[in-house]
Amino acid sequence: MLTSALLLSSVIAAPTIAPEAQPTLDKVMSFYKGLSGASMTLTLKELMPGMGDQVSTMAAFKPNMYKLTQDMGMPGMGSIELISNGTNTWSTETESKMYSEGTASTSFADSPELNMLVGGTPGEFFFSLLSDDPEATFLSGINRVTWDGSTEIDGTSYDLLTLHAEATEEMPEQLKIQISVDQGDHPWVHRAHMPLPKEMTGGLDVTLQFEASNWKALETAKSEFTFSPPTDYKKVDDLFAALMEGGGPAGAPTEEKAMSLIGKPAPGFELKNTEGTTVSLASLKGKTVIIDFFATWCGPCRKGMPVLMDIAKQRADDGVVLYAIDLDEPAEKIKSFLEKQGWSLNVLMTGDSKVADEYMVGGIPHTVIVAPDGSLQFIEIGFHGKEQTELQINKAIDEAIASSKSST
């Protein structure tokens, strides 16, 4: 998946504010500065076909109490919750049933847990608006604010402002974030729209959009700003470090665990393709099978799949076949995507199966090669360029065919 959204970390001079934008900006900053706390639901809209919306709930009470719940939307991971009662903090993850404790920072900006989860993402704007100096924090990295008029959405009138982020050597294309602000007595920031520079997306056209809904002002701290660990939860020193090290349940995918499958019989499966026909791995025995776990929204998958398709076509006389296994997307979205791409590709769907867990799939693309004798010969996680992929996949195919011949 892509998480970077408001990359506003560079320190620059105070931004230039267009005269038409100043009244709305002043109203917003004065309003948020006067709040004791707030809660809302943040929806990151579908980045690419099939990816689906990502929803987080956030509540905060100044200066350092909060509760954030975020569905990670990744195989092997559930929801992460960050909680602070102003004295202590807790970080929890539902799939691994792990949690860690810490000491609360004096402000949202100084919280290492918040910075780890929402730094550089749309969630960061929520906490920046509730800081002691919302204008300085919210406009960090912005060198210009312009006025784009007003609009009406679902019967509500909004002012439109565009925040222009300074171009840098690393990001020569200037970022532009258009935000919509309620014109009423409560000038909540409701929407943001930002085309991502292609330097960030590997050349793909991606526009980030998010909606902030269900805004509520908090007059007192919420009782939910605390955590009592369930009896089946395991305490760790650092939740994020434990997750990256694979410290979750035995089935949680890690690269080390995935690689341990090499040389063993490939996990069997029976999955439906986009036309509803069931395909089993057993039915493909005797062929060298390239399996690529992917999703239509995954940028590296979209770049790497044509390379795999070309290899499978060139090696068809060697008994090589390619099957993509799509993670959790409906057939119609997959077929629409394939049509737009002009791809002729065998795609299987995970459905209710545990095939992704059995192959220890974490990040995607996750490519495996099953030898003709049914053993798992090769695993590659990620896309590392056309030349390297061609070299490694063809070498693995040769080794898979040779190993099967030697075992007969």
- For residue 133, what is the domain's CATH number? 2.50.20.10
Q: Are residues 111 and 194 in the same domain?
A: yes
Tally of domains within the chain = 2
Q: Which of 220, 242, 271 corresponds to the end of one domain?
A: 220
Q: Which of 172, 204, 220 corresponds to the end of one domain?
A: 220
- Please tell me the distance from the alpha carbon of residue 366 to that of residue 178, in angstroms, as a whole number: 35
Q: Residue 2: its pLDDT value, please?
A: 27
Categorize the per-residue pLDDT at 301 as very low, low, confident or very high, splitting at 50, 70 and 90.
confident
If we measure between CA atoms, which residue out of 356, 357, 355, 395 comes closest to residue 378? Answer: 395
- Please tell me the distance from the alpha carbon of residue 82 to that of residue 66, in angstroms, as a whole number: 8
Strands of the sheet containing 347-349, edge to edge, are: 278-280, 270-273, 347-349, 320-326, 288-294, 366-370, 376-381
Q: Residue 120: its pLDDT value, please?
A: 59
Q: Are residues 55 and 203 in the same domain?
A: yes
Average pLDDT, integer, range 182-187: 95
Q: Residue 204: its pLDDT value, please?
A: 61
Categorize the per-residue pLDDT at 340 as very low, low, confident or very high, splitting at 50, 70 and 90.
confident
> pTM, whole model, 2 decimals?
0.62
Residue 330 has pLDDT above 90, yes or no: no
The reply to whether 55 falls in a domain is: yes
CA distances from 220 to 61, 224, 389 (A): 8, 12, 56
Average pLDDT, integer, range 39-59: 76
Q: Residue 215: its pLDDT value, please?
A: 96
Residues 81-126 pLDDT 10s: 999 999 999 999 888 889 999 999 999 888 888 877 776 566 788 8
User: Which residue numbers are catalytic?
Assistant: 298, 301
Quick one: tokens of 394? 């063809």
Residue 11 has pLDDT above 90, yes or no: no
Region of poorest pLDDT, from 61-70, 160-169, 253-262: 253-262
Residues 6+ apart with CB under 8 A from 354: none
Residues 208-237 pLDDT 10s: 888 999 999 999 988 889 999 999 999 998
Categorize the per-residue pLDDT at 349 as very low, low, confident or very high, splitting at 50, 70 and 90.
very high
Residue 265 has pLDDT above 50, yes or no: yes
**The domain containing residue 133 runs over which residues?**
16-64+105-220
Categorize the per-residue pLDDT at 365 as very low, low, confident or very high, splitting at 50, 70 and 90.
confident
- For residue 292, what is the domain's CATH number? 3.40.30.10
User: Mean pLDDT: which of 4-8, 257-261, 358-362 is highest?
Assistant: 358-362
Higher local confidence (pLDDT), 22 or 48: 22
- The whole-chain average pLDDT of the chain stands at 84
The reply to whether 245 falls in a domain is: no
What percentage of the chain reaches a pLDDT higher than 70?
85
Region of poorest pLDDT, from 288-297, 315-324, 377-386: 377-386
- Please tell me the distance from the alpha carbon of residue 41 to that of residue 270, in angstroms, as a whole number: 38
The reply to whether 78 falls in a domain is: no
Q: Are residues 29 and 174 in the same domain?
A: yes
Q: Residue 296: its pLDDT value, please?
A: 84
Q: Residue 40: its pLDDT value, please?
A: 95
Categorize the per-residue pLDDT at 1 as very low, low, confident or very high, splitting at 50, 70 and 90.
very low
Categorize the per-residue pLDDT at 249 as very low, low, confident or very high, splitting at 50, 70 and 90.
very low
Categorize the per-residue pLDDT at 8 as very low, low, confident or very high, splitting at 50, 70 and 90.
very low
Residue 23 has pLDDT above 80, yes or no: yes
Average pLDDT, integer, range 139-161: 91
Higher local confidence (pLDDT), 201 or 262: 262
Q: Are residues 48 and 155 in the same domain?
A: yes
Q: Are residues 177 and 326 in the same domain?
A: no
Average pLDDT, integer, range 70-83: 73
Name the E strands within 319-393.
Answer: 320-326, 347-349, 366-370, 376-381
